[in-house]
Structure formats: C-alpha cells, structure tokens
Amino acid sequence: MKLIVGLGNPGEKYRNNRHNVGHMVVDGLEKRKLPKNVVVKKTGVFMNNSGSVIRRLINRYSLTINYLYVIHDDLDINLGEYKIQKGKGPKDHKGLNSIYDALGSKDFWHVRIGVDNRDPQDRIPGEDYVLQNFNQEELDKVNVVIEEICKKLVTL
C-alpha cells in the first residue's frame, strides 16, 4: 500500500495559495482511477500541525514511512519545476518540521513542488509569499506540473 498525503491549509480562503499546492495535487489524483493499493488524503489541519495527522494515518494503514509520499510546496525550487526525493525536503518548512518531529525521521518520499516566482530584487519573506494566491499565469504552470506529478505518482 502507498499513502499519498497533500499538505495545505483547510478552507476556501487558502484554496489557491502557493502553500496549498499539495492539496491541489490531491484534488487532481482524486479525479483519476487509482490502483486499490493507493490511499490519497489531505491532512485537514493547518500546515504547521500536519505531523500528528500523518502519524495517525501511518498507524491506521499499518505502513512504514517507506510507503509515505508527502506533497508540499517548496521555495527552494522554481515555479514550474518539481522533484520527488526520499529523505530530502526544503531548508525550512514548518509543516514538514511537524512531520519530522512526529515521525522521528525525514526518510519518506517528498514530492517537492516549486512555487518560487519572486522577483530577486524584491523578495517577499517566504512565510508571507506562500500564503499568497497564484496569479493566472502561475496557476497555468502549476497545473502542468500537477498533471505530470499525478501521472508519475500513480506509476511509482
């Protein structure tokens, strides 16, 4: 069994925030016919409290973290790019830090989706930037990435 969890914040207010790109991928996966051994979830809590939910999901499905894929925004990666890496996430991400603390490990699959499109001359602080909505041009790029990730996650 494989557990795929998209991080984000709950509620309509955050729906198109950069921080919610994990939820956007889950929405895309839920529209597909998935293998029976794939479970897809959103945490349902605010990003920075994700750890306890992930721990409960792993326990509920009796999984090891080798079968956990966490989808999240990443300011270390440019908009329109992504990486799927085991045990490697961004330099600082409070939602992931919550998961690391709850699991006692970073050694799960990180689906790192680039959301950084800031002007190098006018860099908004990351914690403010990720709570902004994507503009339409950015959303178009993100939707292409989401489609690629959905295809890839189903086949891994």
Over its length of 156 residues, how does the chain's per-residue pLDDT go in tens digits? 999 999 999 999 999 999 999 999 999 999 999 999 999 999 999 999 999 999 999 999 999 999 999 999 999 999 999 999 999 877 889 999 999 999 999 999 999 999 999 888 888 999 999 999 999 999 999 999 999 999 999 887
Catalytic residue among 19, 72, 93, 110: 19
**What pLDDT is attached to residue 123?**
85
**What pLDDT is attached to residue 47?**
95
Sequence spans of domains, the chain: 2-155
* Residue 135 half-sphere exposure toward CB, CA atoms < 13 A: 5
**What pLDDT is attached to residue 11?**
94
How far, in whole angstroms, is CA 66 from its chain's centroid? Answer: 17
Tell me if residue 19 is catalytic. yes
Question: Under a CB-based contact definition with an 8 Å cutoff, are residues 85 and 109 in contact?
Answer: yes
Q: Is the pTM of this model over 0.85?
A: yes
Amino acid letter, 103: L
Say which CATH superfamily domain 2-155 falls into. Peptidyl-tRNA hydrolase (3.40.50.1470)
